[in-house]
Structure 1
Amino acid sequence: MDRIPVFTIAILLFFIASFQASSATSKPTGLSMKLIRRDLLFPGNLTTFQRMRRLVQLSVRAQNFDSFPSLNQSEDNVLVRLPIGRVPESYAYVVEFKIGSQFHPVKLLMDTGSSLIWTQCEPCIQCYPQKVPIFDSRTSTSYSKLPCTHELCQGENNRFRCYNNECVYNIQYGATSRRNSPRTKGVASFEAFRFPVDTVHTTVINDMIFGCSNDNPNIDLANGQISGILGLSRGPDGLASQLAKRGIIENRFSYCLVPFHDVLRQPTILRFGDHIPLPVGNLQYTDFILYPGRNHYYVELLDISVGFQKKGFESIPGMFELRQDGLGGSLIDSGTVVSTIDENTIGRNAYKEVMAEFQAYYDKKNFRRKVGQVEEKFELCYYNKAGFRDFVTMTLHFEGGDYFIDGKYMHYFADEEEEGEGYFCVALFKSSKTILGAWQQQNMRIIYDMNGGGFQWITETCANDHFP
């Protein structure tokens, strides 16, 4: 057998070493995954009006679950953690990928208001009906449980707790006073996540932290189409945080929501790191506010305008700040479908005053008020006028930038063909927090940048953001 010259071997070793060094020190890149709107999972051929009503009704149901830990109590260290006041049913967008050595498919609801990634797991104590097979960790050779010695299971920054020598969690969605609030319990675990790159290739990331939930009372997600939740908040167990800690991405992610009235012919994209496109135009931003023990995306809201009428809330310092009782505060949350305004702000009732501006605008134009409560539970509704398009806008004046909401995304439109006489409503709910929800994020490039860039936004035609 011919020998390979020593010089050739040396050259090969040099290139191998160079490649390994460059791989180890290479910059974080990015990751992309399909973002499927939840109404695509609804059975049957629903009309646009039926889709819209169902989404809004899910959001309405969520308003009945308001409970928040006080500032003296970390939301992450209580046994029963209380996320933003809504149940999982109100989420609107889904991601799909595979986990484990058996390539098990999961469909998880995107949620920027919580951090834990979880899916239902066998053997079940109490699982809700699921059409796709429930993940069984016993069949996966890449699965393991988080040890009780892990930093997330002990110490001051623990997310879970050790019980019977297992690292477990117990998450309740909603108020502790409600006996039938949705809840998920399970074991904190490690597993391989397999994200599709294209129709052929897959990115495999081993030992991702997730929740293996085998006890899920009072949860019912999209008629069994959904297996769990994809947490994207700032917590260390959130997807973006985990990917950034491994150096796979820079700690930022982005999405662009196609208008709910439009038929979504193909999924859009949830983007991480360098896969986020460079915005064209005037990108605006505001810094995130970091509250101890809080992992939601809080921002500083100064004032609100309805049309060109600025309310002057900024004259009251701290009006929209998080209060000691855990209420108040302004945040961004994709899991809340319709935006809310705090009705308990200090000094003035922000929700009442904003709604009064909307009412004054339409009353002045002689619109006929729709009397009585509509099925969607909106407070202010009017009957349509043929050809009218001048629906009033709203602007959230954040520290550093103005978030302008077009009139067509500030209202809910009931289809005339379905209701006999069409009507529209101001798409806002009262709450104990001010939340910028998914409805008012339509056709907007949204970027969460935890590297110091804060919350960023710019208008975009979101239907163009899809895989080839």
Structure 2
Amino acid sequence: MATPSVSSFCFVILLCSAAAEALEGGLSVELIHRDSPKSPFYDPSETPFQRAEKAVRRSIACVRDLRSNDEGEPSADISRIDGEYLINITIGTPPVSMMTIADTGSDLIWTQCQPCDVCFPQVAPLFNPRASSTYEQVHCVSDKCHLYDKTFCNTEGFTCQYSAVYGDQSHSEGNISTDIIELTTLSGSPEPVPFPGMAFGCGIKNDGLFSIHATGIVGLSAGKASLVSQIGGYLSRLFAYCLVPFFSTSKYTSKLTFGFDAQLTGPGIVTTPLILKSPRQYYYLTLEGISVNGKKFMVSGSSGPGAVTGNMVIDSGTTLTWLPSNLYGQIVQAVSAAISLPRAKDPIAGYGL
């Protein structure tokens, strides 16, 4: 399989707010693709095709997990566990390193904690809140208890607890807590950037299809509990992620940038509006149509009076682009008619060809 040219895909989100004092310029952290040599998931024995095949199968599983409500929109409690990109954060004092899944489709930050009633196996030690001098449990009356919409009150200790259930019935339950979360920047600075008082889930009942290499999830959605929203007071709630090609062997790395440095301007920059709906768990785009060989195929209901906006979800946990079945069928027919070659057998049996 040929290696694509080294170009980057960049995605920028601006969430307007009255920002507090911002860090100058912002900061960038490394996004680690799960199949890169820097990832704990990396298997050097796999071929590029095998990695691509696994990515396709993860995407298929992801789409199957997206349940719909009566209005045809993804339900609020659905998010993908087995994401494509990882982010390394530290929690506590002294700081404990966590390899977590970066997820634009959920808002809660959580990790497994001691003492754990039910925990899935993980390679790294569990976070011990008693060993952190800056750790605090959140009380029910605290505003931080209501950042996440799946919380309830423990009447015995009057502490805030959460319950997160995912599409494949994997789940995490535990205490909403606060502590210092630090991000290591790509600027070359040896000192990570600390964000004190960050709300996160300290999971003590976690089970399901979790990997041993990841310790939890960092939500990047527009929800109030997400990393983006919580550090927005420092960094103006502006962030971007730029992804190097899937099979790139260049020195460049994918990165996640927060703050004013995330603004992309200049020649060749093309933008399209992001649509935020309630609940603010997903970022949506409006796909109007796709052109093949000069012929445009419109998405039903995306134009004209009463047009539906925000009919596609941006998801960092999915490799492939998925289309409505009727539109996909038209695109396949148009591409087949434009290419005078025998149709090849689908080597992965996942593309619907």
**Interval of TM-score (by shorter of Structure 1 and Structure 2):** 0.7 to 0.9
Q: Is the 8 A contact 1:97 1:106 kept in 2?
A: yes
Per-residue CA deviation, residues 120-171 of structure 1 (Å, 9 max, x unaligned), is: 111112222211111111211111112111235359x845222332312211
Task: Tell me the number of residue pairs that the alignment of Structure 1 and Structure 2 aligns.
Answer: 324
Residue type of the partner of 1:377? G
Deviation at 1:182, TM superposition (A): 1.4
> How far apart in 1 are the matches of 2:334 and 2:119?
46
Match of 2:278 in 1: 292
Match of 2:6 in 1: none
Q: Is the 8 A contact 1:69 1:82 kept in 2?
A: no
Partner SS state of residue 178, structure 2: strand
Q: Is the 8 A contact 2:65 2:78 kept in 1?
A: no
Deviation at 1:320, TM superposition (A): 5.2
1:82 aligns with 2:57: no
> How far apart in 2 are the matches of 1:64 and 1:295?
18
Structure of higher RCO (CA pairs closer than 8 Å, 6+ residues apart)? 2
Partner SS state of residue 86, structure 2: strand
Match of 1:39 in 2: 35
Match of 1:360 in 2: 337
> How far apart in 2 are the matches of 1:257 and 1:376?
26
Match of 1:379 in 2: 352
> 241, 249, 260: which one pairs with 2:229?
241
Deviation at 1:70, TM superposition (A): 4.2
Residue type of the partner of 1:109? I
> How far apart in 2 are the matches of 1:241 and 1:250?
9
Identity %: 30
Per-residue CA deviation, residues 35-90 of structure 1 (Å, 9 max, x unaligned), is: 111112323332222221222222222233231344599955xxxx223xxx312x
> How far apart in 2 are the matches of 1:32 and 1:263?
21
CA RMSD of aligned residues (A): 2.8
Residue type of the partner of 2:249? V
More helix by share: 1
Per-residue CA deviation, residues 364-419 of structure 1 (Å, 9 max, x unaligned), is: x123332xx64351112xxxxxxxxxxxxxxxxxxxxxxxxxxxxxxxxxxxxxxx
What does 1:248-397 align with in structure 2 at a 5 Å threshold?
Answer: 248-263=234-249, 265=251, 267-276=253-262, 278-313=264-299, 321=309, 329-343=311-325, 349-362=326-339, 365-370=340-345, 374-380=347-353
TM-score, normalised on structure 1? Answer: 0.63
> How far apart in 1 are the matches of 2:177 and 2:73?
26
> How far apart in 1 are the matches of 2:61 and 2:176?
29
Consecutive unaligned residues in structure 2, runs of 5 or more: 1-18
What does 1:2-21 align with in structure 2 at a 5 Å threshold?
Answer: none
Q: 1:335 to 1:341 in 2, by over 3 A?
A: same
1:210 aligns with 2:212: no
Residue type of the partner of 1:249? L
Per-residue CA deviation, residues 204-253 of structure 1 (Å, 9 max, x unaligned), is: 111111111122211322xx221111111000111111111xx2102111
Residue type of the partner of 2:99? K
Query: Where in structure 1 do 4 or more consecutive aligned residues deviate above 6 Å?
Result: none
Partner SS state of residue 235, structure 2: coil
Residue type of the partner of 1:39? D
TM-score, normalised on structure 2? Answer: 0.82
Match of 1:182 in 2: 170
> How far apart in 2 are the matches of 1:291 and 1:262?
35
> How far apart in 2 are the matches of 1:126 and 1:219?
14
Q: Is the 8 A contact 2:150 2:163 kept in 1?
A: no
